[in-house]
Amino acid sequence: MIGRNNLVKLIDCCYREPLMKFRIMKEKGFSLYTTGNSYPYIFMVDGRIPHGGMFDRLKGLITIYAVAKTLGKDFRINWTYPFTLSKYLIPSKYDWLIDESQMNFGIFSYHNVIAYGEYVSPNRLMKSRTKETHFYYGYNSLNEVNKVFGTNYSWGELYRELFQPTPYLQRYLDCYSAEIGQKYVAIHARFLNLLGDKVETAINPELASDKEKEKLVELAISAVRNISSSHPHVRVMIASDSMVFINRIKLEVPNVYIVPGEVKHIDTAGATDDAENIKMFTDYYLISGAQKVYSLWHEGMWKSAFSEYAALIGGVPFERIVF
């Protein structure tokens, strides 16, 4: 009997990946070969399939970069959806920039690897490649990379090798950093649809009554107060996907710091504007600069990777608080 992992790989190899080639052929026209530079490892965020949230994308990206780095192969990032990444992040120590016009799309000139379902056994990601390969992946498999290749990469280290803020983003970071000061802790809470924000599709339902919503908000605010009391004389930054919670905590705990703007989940929003993108990037860079990072969790909420991986970027302590 075929196992789950083998079945997923079979579906990816025999259905999803050929379908992607057919779709691209319809977009770009039929050709057997395209010439030019060939980049064996290109990480794709192009909107042709769902990619997950910001850190789902970054988790997969860092995994593929680690493999390419270990094997001494060229690595590039084609991130164009729902924004062009290079507007906000630029290369730090490694040049990952590429334009889609520089890529190969002839039928026999490239491979697709769509491996979202293969996170349990991501063996295909570890293969040494010479032909240009376009990777679609959204999980952190760095432990598997380290195990297979005998490396000792850390996630934050690899992120910092790849990325630094653009001057455009840095202006916002400088402005908000000056407002919050040097000493602060960060608290993140991802409520999804629980409070009625409608930020996600079909992940969790809105709580049935205003009474339930009120109870959850009160419990979360109490958790914020408890964390704040354990860090006297240190400011508290709040980040959340719920504007209901954000607007409430502004009233209840007026000394907290909140980056201006609204948040959208980049995989379910369909489109984001520049202000929403700036809000997301400044949130996670400020979280990465905190003295300590907390993630709030209650039944029905999401154990978000956003604050957890932002803490890894900054190399700061992270704790998930169950309330």
Residue pLDDT, tens place only, 240-291 = 999 999 999 999 998 999 999 988 777 665 678 999 999 999 999 999 999 9
Q: What is the pLDDT of residues 303-314, one digit of tens each?
A: 999 999 999 999
Label residue 202 by pLDDT band (50, 70, 90).
low
Predicted confidence (pLDDT) at residue 160 exceeds the cutoff of 60: yes
What does the pLDDT read at residue 271? 76
Q: What's the rounded Cα separation, in Å, for the pair 160 and 251?
A: 36
- Contact partners, residue 105, CB within 8 Å, separation at least 6: 24, 25, 28, 31, 34
DSSP of 264-307? --TTTSS---HHHHHHHHHHHHHHHTSS-EEEEE-TTS---HHH
Predicted confidence (pLDDT) at residue 2 exceeds the cutoff of 70: no
Which pTM does this prediction carry?
0.94
CA separation, residue 7 to residues 13, 14, 16, 112, 127 (Å) = 10, 10, 13, 18, 19
Which pair of tokens denotes residue 211? 């009474």
Q: What's the rounded Cα separation, in Å, for the pair 142 and 271?
A: 30
- Angle, helix 305-314 to helix 155-162, in steps of 10 degrees: 70
Q: Is 177 within 8 Å of 237 (Cβ atoms)?
A: no
More confident residue, 270 or 156: 156
Q: Is 278 within 8 Å of 306 (Cβ atoms)?
A: no
Predicted confidence (pLDDT) at residue 166 exceeds the cutoff of 70: yes
Q: Where are the alpha helices (DSSP H) in the chain?
A: 4-11, 17-28, 54-71, 142-149, 155-162, 167-180, 210-229, 243-252, 274-288, 305-314
What does the pLDDT read at residue 210? 97
Task: Kindly state the helix (H) or strand (E) to which residue 238 belongs, with its residue range.
Answer: strand 235-240
More confident residue, 33 or 117: 117
| Residue bearing tokens 């042709």 | 48
- Contact partners, residue 266, CB within 8 Å, separation at least 6: 53, 54, 82, 83, 272, 280
Label residue 120 by pLDDT band (50, 70, 90).
confident
What does the pLDDT read at residue 85? 98
Q: Is 99 within 8 Å of 46 (Cβ atoms)?
A: no
Q: What is the pLDDT of residues 209-242, one digit of tens each?
A: 999 999 999 999 999 999 999 999 999 999 999 9
Q: What is the mean pLDDT of residues 178-187?
A: 97
pLDDT averaged over the chain? 94
Side-chain half-sphere of 209: how many Cα atoms within 13 Å?
Answer: 3
149 closest CA partner among 126, 131, 182: 126
In percent, the amount of the chain with pLDDT more than 90 equals 85
Label residue 32 by pLDDT band (50, 70, 90).
confident
Q: What is the mean pLDDT of residues 140-145?
A: 98
184 closest CA partner among 130, 135, 238: 238
Could you report how far apart the first and last alpha carbons of the chain are, in Å? 44
What are the sequence ranges of the domains in the chain? 4-165, 167-322
What does the pLDDT read at residue 1? 46
In percent, the amount of the chain with pLDDT more than 70 equals 97
Q: Tell me if the domain spanning 167-322 has CATH number 3.40.630.10.
A: no
Sign of CA dihedral 23, 29, 31, 37: negative
What does the pLDDT read at residue 207? 95
Q: Is 57 within 8 Å of 133 (Cβ atoms)?
A: no
